Amino acid sequence: MKELLEHIASRILPHPEDFRVEESVDDQGNVRLTLTTHPDDTGLAIGKEGRTARALRELLKIKAIQNHQRIFLDIRSDGE
């Protein structure tokens, strides 16, 4: 899951060297991904009215369903 998000983010963000993805799995098998972006890229990662974030979540959800997991995605700015 982490690799999929890293691949997509590296293609859509203008500062691909300045993002990181952290992955954690809880005891129920739920996956939480946190995408931390360059402050200038956060708006692009979220998109107008959250469309990009929603699309990212949908793509990750498809992969999670294949693995019988649930996925949660948080997007943060490096300045927070």
The confidence score (pLDDT) of residue 65 equals 93
The confidence score (pLDDT) of residue 76 equals 95
> Global pTM?
0.89
The confidence score (pLDDT) of residue 80 equals 57
74 has which bridge partners?
34
Q: How do the pLDDT tens digits run along the chain, 80 residues long?
A: 899 999 999 999 999 899 999 999 999 889 999 999 999 999 999 999 999 999 999 999 999 999 899 999 999 998 75
Is 2-77 in CATH node 3.30.300.20? Answer: yes
The confidence score (pLDDT) of residue 22 equals 97
Residue extents of the structural domains in the chain: 2-77
